[in-house]
């Protein structure tokens, strides 16, 4: 290579410009697309970390809610956004791990269209009962269901929701057969449970915890592999009914696939610091979730494993949302 006076003069100018371009991010507000309306768990936990990121970064982080279509339109918009780090997406157990198996015309590829950043929280699930339901333990509930296969109602937050798939997984792993009553979200299902219109519900701890603490419903068994700090006396499904059973909702951050790796690493590292702070952990635990910071590689591996897991359940139980 011939070195000229012009190249010597130009080279020093190019290097600082490249370094500045990488280190200056973010130079304008960053948006996080949440695929659900305000007030749902994914929105609440995303806003928690968005507020903290806004305090750490020189620019604000703005949450944009795009509900409807099982979250598919919002994920499509995120996948098609410019890969410059200024659009991030709240990816969830529903949009990234369940939708690929239950939506035939999914407008995005959950594995190829996104770069994993970090999980934010695990949202544990559990079975809760109306106080009038005679069974007080998981074993007693199982005996009641076996005595009347397909007759005892259990509420879910809707077809193909995390709650629904968790029930289907339990039925596949055991000889239990419920009559699944689908509602339009956790709220309506919990209202009917509290009213005594259904005896059982598979719900998130985040949704059910206030009702449990108020004595309006009774916790039967947790769907996590381990007992929860919020409910230490409530056994798991794995230790009572089905060894190895585990089901949970979750919310994390992803970005369009071509976002530069240095930005992905920075967001992941900053999320890790935020989610390991004692005050933030206490706040998340109080809301019925579990903080779960991960590396980009670990989160990508987790997403792939969840897709495989729920694909098997959806196929075995013939769960579809679009025919």
Question: Over the stretch 75-108, which tens digit does the pLDDT of each residue have?
Answer: 999 999 999 999 999 999 999 999 999 998 999 9
The whole-number pLDDT of residue 257 equals: 97
What are the start and end residues of each CATH 3.40.190.150 domain in the chain?
30-122+248-317
Q: Quick one: CATH architecture of 30-122+248-317?
A: 3-Layer(aba) Sandwich (3.40)
Q: Hey, what CATH class is 124-240 in?
A: alpha beta
The whole-number pLDDT of residue 217 equals: 97
In 3D space, the residue among 227, 207, 226 whose CA is nearest the CA of residue 217 turns out to be 207
Structure tokens at 90: 């709240």
C-alpha–C-alpha distance, residues 322 and 105, integer Å: 8
Strands 114-129 and 153-156, how do they pair? unpaired
Q: What residues contact residue 8 under an 8 Å CB cut-off, 6+ apart?
A: none
The whole-number pLDDT of residue 8 equals: 38
The whole-number pLDDT of residue 1 equals: 40
Instruction: Find tokens 């970090």 and name the residue.
Output: 118
Asked whether 96 and 78 are in contact (CB, 8 A), the reply is no
User: Would you say the pTM of this structure is higher than 0.95?
Assistant: no
The whole-number pLDDT of residue 39 equals: 82
C-alpha–C-alpha distance, residues 280 and 293, integer Å: 12
What are the start and end residues of each CATH 3.40.190.10 domain in the chain?
124-240
The average confidence (pLDDT) of the chain is 91
- List C-alpha distances in Å: 276 to 25, 34, 120, 253: 23, 23, 11, 16
The whole-number pLDDT of residue 37 equals: 87
pLDDT at 20 over 90: no
pLDDT at 318 over 60: yes
The whole-number pLDDT of residue 15 equals: 42
Label residue 9 by pLDDT band (50, 70, 90): very low
The whole-number pLDDT of residue 23 equals: 59
pLDDT at 32 over 60: yes
At residue 109, what are phi and psi to the nearest 5 degrees? Answer: -105, 115
């Amino acid at each position: 290579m011939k070195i000229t006076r012009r190249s010597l003069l130009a080279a020093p100018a190019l290097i600082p410009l490249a370094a500045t371009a990488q280190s200056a991010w973010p130079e304008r507000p960053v948006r996080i697309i949440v695929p659900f309306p305000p007030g749902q768990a994914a929105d609440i936990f995303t806003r928690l970390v968005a507020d903290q990121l806004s305090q750490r970064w020189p620019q604000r982080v703005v949450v944009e809610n795009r509900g409807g279509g099982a979250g598919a339109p919002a994920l499509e918009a995120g996948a098609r956004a410019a890969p410059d780090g200024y659009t991030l997406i709240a990816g969830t157990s529903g949009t990234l791990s369940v939708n690929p198996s239950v939506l035939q015309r999914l407008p995005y590829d959950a594995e190829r269209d996104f770069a994993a950043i970090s999980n934010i929280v695990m949202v544990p699930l559990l079975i809760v009962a109306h106080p009038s339901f005679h069974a007080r333990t998981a074993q007693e509930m199982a005996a009641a269901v076996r005595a009347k296969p397909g007759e005892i109602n259990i509420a879910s937050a809707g077809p193909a929701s995390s709650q629904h798939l968790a029930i289907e997984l339990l039925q596949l792993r055991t000889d239990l057969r419920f009559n699944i009553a689908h509602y339009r979200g956790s709220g309506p299902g919990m209202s009917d449970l509290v009213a005594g219109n259904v005896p059982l519900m598979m719900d998130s701890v985040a949704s059910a915890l206030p009702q449990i603490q108020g004595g309006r419903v009774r916790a039967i068994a947790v769907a996590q592999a381990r007992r929860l700090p919020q409910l230490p006396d409530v056994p798991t499904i794995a230790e009572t009914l089905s060894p190895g059973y585990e089901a949970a909702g979750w919310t994390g951050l992803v970005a369009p696939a071509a976002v530069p790796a240095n930005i992905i690493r920075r967001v992941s590292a900053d999320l890790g610091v935020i989610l390991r702070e004692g005050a933030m952990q206490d706040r998340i635990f109080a809301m019925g979730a579990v903080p779960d910071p991960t590396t980009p590689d670990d989160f990508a591996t987790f997403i792939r494993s969840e897709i495989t897991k729920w694909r098997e359940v959806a196929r075995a139980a013939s769960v579809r949302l679009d025919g």
